[in-house]
A and B are shown apart, each in its own frame.
Chain A
Amino acid sequence: MPSWSSSPRPSAPRHALPDLQLVLFGSGLALLIAGAVASFVARTWLLEAVEQVEQTHQILAIVEELRENISDAAAMFRLGGRGPGARPRPSKRRALGDAQRELDILETLTREDASQQARLRKIRPVLDRMQALEQKEAGGELLVELLYEAHQWLGEIADRERRLLAGKSAESMQRNARLNQIVVATGFLAILLLAAAIVRLRREDAARQQAQRIAESILETAPNAIVSLDGEGTILRANRAVEKIFGYRPEELLGRNVTMIMPPWSREEHEGQLAGTLVGESTFLDPGMELDGLHRDGHLVAIHLAVGKSSEEGNPRFIGMITDISDRRRAEEVLAETLSRLQGVLDGATDVAIIATDLDGRVTLFSRGAERMLGYSASEVMGDEMVVRFHLRTEVADRGQALSLELGRPVQGIAVLVEKASRGEPDERTWTYVHKDGSMIPVILVLTPLYDARPLLCGFLAVALDISGQKQAERLKDEFVSIVSHELRTPLTSIKASLELLTGGLAGPIPPKAASLIEIAHRNAERLILLVNDILDIRKIEAGEVRFSLGAVDVREIVAQAVEANLAYASQLGVRIVVHDAGRPARVRVDLARMVQVLTNLFSNAAKYSPEGDAIEVSTTVTAGHVAIDVKDHGPGIPEEFHPRLFQKFAQADGTDNRRRGGTGLGLAIAKAIVEKHGGRLTFETAPGRGTTFRVEIPLPDDSVGPETGELAEAIGQNSGPTADDPGSGAARPGKEGTA
């Protein structure tokens, strides 16, 4: 059903003829007119020719009559008043008079022909002499002579006229034929041109109709409702989409006022706008507006209406383009609700500062928590303010320097903060914020990348948690641990020293039973001292208080020193240490004493869990970018449920292990902390009954792997000797028991 329904259907508007048609039509018409003019001219020529022929005939007849009158007059002269024959003859005077008149007529008729005039002038004296003969002598030789002369001249005149007649007839026929050709040619050409114009017009018309059909099918298939209104708002046309939006079929709307698809409260306003537009006071809804429409079943439909004004045969017309925006409206409502909830979260989270920035670091969101934490109001910092301003400048500079070194390119400004987040990874790090009043606030800052709808990175979200309290607590804890450890160590020093003096015989000989009791006390005093040292040690490593003396060290040297330091302990347990040499030097940049401490912890651990008579295997492998030291034992393995806690402080698979096997439960935690501070990894592989392998991986600096033979040039620097660490905290404890 063609339902760009309309009432009444208007005739298709005739467009002005395009230029080519105009030219074709014009030329055709011009040629037709030219043909008509030509045929008119031809007719005039023909009439003229006929007239001339008739005149010639008339002249010939008069010449004949003149000849007869002259002959009659001559006969009268000879017969005395009556001529021969039956025909009654006039008197010779009358015959001559007639001849004179006919001569006059001939002179008039041939006035434009000088030769005929000349001949006629020769005849007149003949007539005059014949007249004169009447009075003097009749007949005779003179009369015959005159008659002969007159007939001679008349004969010449007649001959000339006949020649003229023949010439005129030929000319007129020739002209007639030529004109006929012209008329036929122009007519033919005119018909051709007119036919071409008509063909073209028809083609145009077909194209126009096709375009109209396409336009109508577009209108019909358009998802938007399209209605055409007159100046009063009466619906003249409507496409099929109106049914989907308003529930009315298009034909049901025709002739009805458009207000029927509007809610009552907006009808009056609409009519006012329509009237205003008609008198040119407003442009009415341009470029469109969002409003409510009224569905047939009474519910409101959110629509967007765009209206264009035009005219049809002098009457104003409005074309309304209506889009159903219910879905968008609902989405907007959901969005508004979500935003409101989000705002609630932002406003409610007063313990954390939430700051969003664009890619350049300009603040685009500043939560109430941020206002509270930093002392600025959102209006002060939104838009132009850079987020870096809230950070401790030196801290950002230091981090920037470290990052620049690490990445091999300059990193500064906002990039220092978002280096990781801009790669799409969330980043959690402690920073120092600076309050508006200058005070410093330690925070844990979680930076998350923000994406737009495409999704492209469009900014960053920073959530900062004030950890002043936590820092304070940590400081108090550290102080407490430090003081307690120190206070423990002092009496332990006395106990251990006293026991050693006793066993050394300083107070005289000790009975054997007492000696074994003193030995127990001494051993436990040493364990306590180790424990206190380890507690202090790990606290300092974790707090970053340990300064590592980094130097280029051959990994084989680390292994050798660690083995030497642990041989005695291992042999006490009946365990050997077997080293599988890597065969070539590989220099790592480490604190030698601390790395020996790591291996010592791993060796003592392995020794404790190895069966008596067994061997700990130590091997070194150099891979791309790393050197790995494996410490393998053939002990019972680590139970799976213990894996997650293996590196935790005071973690031991069996609670009785501490007492049975010795150790503080801190060795692996310390080893892991030290390895990680060197940028390495401490991992393990284990299987029940098949032993455990701990692997220390240390990153290799560039050009640190030596050739298979020969020594590596000392390119990296020298091991800087004794460390600055607490000598009592076991940085390296050659000859002492491991602590795992």
Chain B
Amino acid sequence: MTSKTLERVLLVEDDPDIRTVAGLALEASGRLTILACESGEEAVRRAPGFAPQLVLLDYMMPGMDGPATLSALRALPGLEKVPVVFMTAKVQSGETSRYFQLGAVGLIPKPFSPLALEETVLDIWRRAASGQVVG
């Protein structure tokens, strides 16, 4: 896992408002560059050109859902080990561990606090860098 400063985050979210708000929140400090995609397909298509250091991935999406997108991204050259954080409101009992089994390094429940979002993401990044996962 890289110990570099987090700069490029790929945000995949089908809801345009949340995508906008999350994007704004993450970019507010100017430290992060965000590539916001509205679907898994778009993310897979554009990720190689962006080379994200971390992916924020909505779990429930039409078409390719979160897990499918994760798999597809990981299949891309250079992204085999990219840390993925699921954002979801629909977490069922017993599913938390499944997210981590799928390869996620963190979980951000919706609704999230936009003002704290950047810090949360950075925290997950730091923990992932030291080999921890964040629930």
Tell me, yes or no, whether A309 is within 8 Å of chain B by CB. Answer: no
- Is there an interface contact between A493 and B18, defined as CB atoms closer than 8 Å? yes
Tell me, yes or no, whether B2 is within 8 Å of chain A by CB. Answer: no
- In the complex where A490-B18, A545-B92, A726-B93 touch, is A497 in contact with B111 (Cβ < 8 A)? yes
Q: How many residues of A contact B (CB 8 A)?
A: 25
Tell me, yes or no, whether B135 is within 8 Å of chain A by CB. Answer: yes
Contact of A504 among B15, B90, B112, B115 (CB under 8 A): B115
- Is there an interface contact between B90 and A486, defined as CB atoms closer than 8 Å? yes
Contact of A490 among B20, B107, B110 (CB under 8 A): B110
Residues of A within 8 A of B97 (CB): 724
Residues of A within 8 A of B18 (CB): 490, 493-494, 497
- Is there an interface contact between B89 and A497, defined as CB atoms closer than 8 Å? no
Instruction: State the CA gap A138–B113 with chains docked (Å).
Output: 207
- Is there an interface contact between A727 and B115, defined as CB atoms closer than 8 Å? no
- Is there an interface contact between A501 and B114, defined as CB atoms closer than 8 Å? yes
In the complex, chain A residues 714-735 whose Cβ is within 8 Å of any chain B Cβ: 722, 724-728
Residues of B within 8 A of A496 (CB): 111
Instruction: State the CA gap A498–B15 with chains docked (Å).
Output: 14
Q: Which of B22, B89, B115 has the most CB of A within 10 A?
A: B89
A interface majority secondary structure: helix
How many Å from the CB of B88 to the closest CB on chain A? Answer: 8
- Is there an interface contact between B115 and A728, defined as CB atoms closer than 8 Å? no
- Is there an interface contact between B21 and A498, defined as CB atoms closer than 8 Å? yes
- In the complex where A490-B110, A497-B111 touch, is A727 in contact with B92 (Cβ < 8 A)? no
Tell me, yes or no, whether B91 is within 8 Å of chain A by CB. Answer: yes
Tell me, yes or no, whether A267 is within 8 Å of chain B by CB. Answer: no
- Is there an interface contact between B93 and A493, defined as CB atoms closer than 8 Å? no
Q: How many residues of B contact A (CB 8 A)?
A: 28
- Is there an interface contact between B135 and A726, defined as CB atoms closer than 8 Å? no
Instruction: State the CA gap A545–B94 with chains docked (Å).
Output: 10
Give a binary string over A490-514; 1 marks a CB under 8 Å from any B CB, 0 the rest.
Answer: 1111101110110010100000000
Tell me, yes or no, whether B122 is within 8 Å of chain A by CB. Answer: no
Instruction: State the CA gap A545–B91 with chains docked (Å).
Output: 12
Instruction: State the CA gap A634–B99 with chains docked (Å).
Output: 46
- Is there an interface contact between A491 and B113, defined as CB atoms closer than 8 Å? no
- Is there an interface contact between A506 and B93, defined as CB atoms closer than 8 Å? no
- In the complex where A497-B25, A547-B94 touch, is A489 in contact with B113 (Cβ < 8 A)? no
Residues of B within 8 A of A545 (CB): 92-93
Tell me, yes or no, whether A365 is within 8 Å of chain B by CB. Answer: no
Q: How many A-B residue pairs have CB under 8 A?
A: 82
In the complex, chain A residues 686-740 whose Cβ is within 8 Å of any chain B Cβ: 722, 724-728
Tell me, yes or no, whether B24 is within 8 Å of chain A by CB. Answer: yes
Tell me, yes or no, whether A546 is within 8 Å of chain B by CB. Answer: yes
Instruction: State the CA gap A391–B17 with chains docked (Å).
Output: 51
How many Å from the CB of A500 to the closest CB on chain B? Answer: 5
Residues of B within 8 A of A486 (CB): 60, 89-90
Instruction: State the CA gap A545–B92 with chains docked (Å).
Output: 8
Contact of A546 among B25, B28, B93, B115 (CB under 8 A): B93
Instruction: State the CA gap A506–B118 with chains docked (Å).
Output: 13
Contact of B15 among A494, A506, A727 (CB under 8 A): A494
Q: Which of B60, B91, B114, B135 has the most CB of A within 10 A?
A: B114
Tell me, yes or no, whether A529 is within 8 Å of chain B by CB. Answer: yes
- Is there an interface contact between A727 and B24, defined as CB atoms closer than 8 Å? no
Residues of B within 8 A of A506 (CB): 24-25, 28
Contact of B96 among A491, A493, A500, A724 (CB under 8 A): A724
How many Å from the CB of B19 to the closest CB on chain A? Answer: 9
A492 to chain B: closest residue by CB: B111
Instruction: State the CA gap A489–B60 with chains docked (Å).
Output: 13
Tell me, yes or no, whether A539 is within 8 Å of chain B by CB. Answer: no
Tell me, yes or no, whether A540 is within 8 Å of chain B by CB. Answer: yes
Instruction: State the CA gap A492–B112 with chains docked (Å).
Output: 10
Q: Which of B17, B93, B107, B135 has the most CB of A within 10 A?
A: B93
- Is there an interface contact between A540 and B111, defined as CB atoms closer than 8 Å? no
- In the complex where A486-B90, A501-B21 touch, is A727 in contact with B111 (Cβ < 8 A)? no
Residues of B within 8 A of A722 (CB): 96, 135
Residues of B within 8 A of A728 (CB): 89, 91, 109-111
Residues of B within 8 A of A491 (CB): 15, 17
Contact of A725 among B93, B110, B111 (CB under 8 A): B93
How many Å from the CB of B52 to the closest CB on chain A? Answer: 22
A728 to chain B: closest residue by CB: B109
- Is there an interface contact between B113 and A501, defined as CB atoms closer than 8 Å? no
Instruction: State the CA gap A496–B24 with chains docked (Å).
Output: 14
Q: Which of A492, A496, A546, A547 has the most CB of B within 10 A?
A: A496
Residues of A within 8 A of B90 (CB): 486, 726
Instruction: State the CA gap A547–B89 with chains docked (Å).
Output: 18
Contact of B17 among A498, A529, A546 (CB under 8 A): A498
- Is there an interface contact between B15 and A490, defined as CB atoms closer than 8 Å? yes
Instruction: State the CA gap A501–B111 with chains docked (Å).
Output: 13
Residues of B within 8 A of A529 (CB): 111
- Is there an interface contact between B112 and A497, defined as CB atoms closer than 8 Å? yes
How many Å from the CB of A603 to the closest CB on chain B? Answer: 23
Residues of A within 8 A of B17 (CB): 491, 494, 498
- Is there an interface contact between A724 and B95, defined as CB atoms closer than 8 Å? yes
Give a binary string over B9-34; 1 marks a CB under 8 Å from any A CB, 0 the rest.
Answer: 00000010110111011001000000
Q: Which of B60, B90, B96 has the most CB of A within 10 A?
A: B90
How many Å from the CB of B74 to the closest CB on chain A? Answer: 24
Give a binary string over B78-121; 1 marks a CB under 8 Å from any A CB, 0 the rest.
Answer: 00000000000111111111000000000101111111000000
Residues of A within 8 A of B15 (CB): 490-491, 494
Residues of A within 8 A of B96 (CB): 722, 724, 727
Instruction: State the CA gap A547–B110 with chains docked (Å).
Output: 21
Residues of A within 8 A of B111 (CB): 489, 492-493, 496-497, 529, 728
B25 to chain A: closest residue by CB: A501
B17 to chain A: closest residue by CB: A494
B16 to chain A: closest residue by CB: A494
Residues of A within 8 A of B94 (CB): 547, 724
- In the complex where A493-B18, A724-B96, A724-B97 touch, is A500 in contact with B114 (Cβ < 8 A)? yes
- In the complex where A486-B90, A493-B111, A722-B135 touch, is A501 in contact with B24 (Cβ < 8 A)? yes
Residues of A within 8 A of B28 (CB): 501, 504, 506
Contact of B107 among A498, A540, A727 (CB under 8 A): A727
In the complex, chain A residues 510-569 whose Cβ is within 8 Å of any chain B Cβ: 529, 540, 545-547
B98 to chain A: closest residue by CB: A724
Instruction: State the CA gap A491–B20 with chains docked (Å).
Output: 12
Instruction: State the CA gap A137–B21 with chains docked (Å).
Output: 215
How many Å from the CB of B125 to the closest CB on chain A? Answer: 19
How many Å from the CB of A462 to the closest CB on chain B? Answer: 33
Instruction: State the CA gap A726–B93 with chains docked (Å).
Output: 6
20 A-B residue pairings within 8 Å (CB atoms): A486-B89, A486-B90, A491-B15, A491-B17, A494-B15, A494-B17, A494-B20, A497-B112, A498-B17, A501-B28, A501-B115, A504-B114, A506-B24, A506-B25, A529-B111, A722-B135, A724-B94, A726-B91, A728-B89, A728-B110
Q: A501-B114, A504-B114, A506-B25 are in contact. List 4 more A-B contacts (CB 8 A).
A: A493-B110, A497-B22, A497-B111, A727-B109
The 4 closest A-B pairs by CB, nearest first: A494-B17, A493-B111, A497-B114, A727-B109
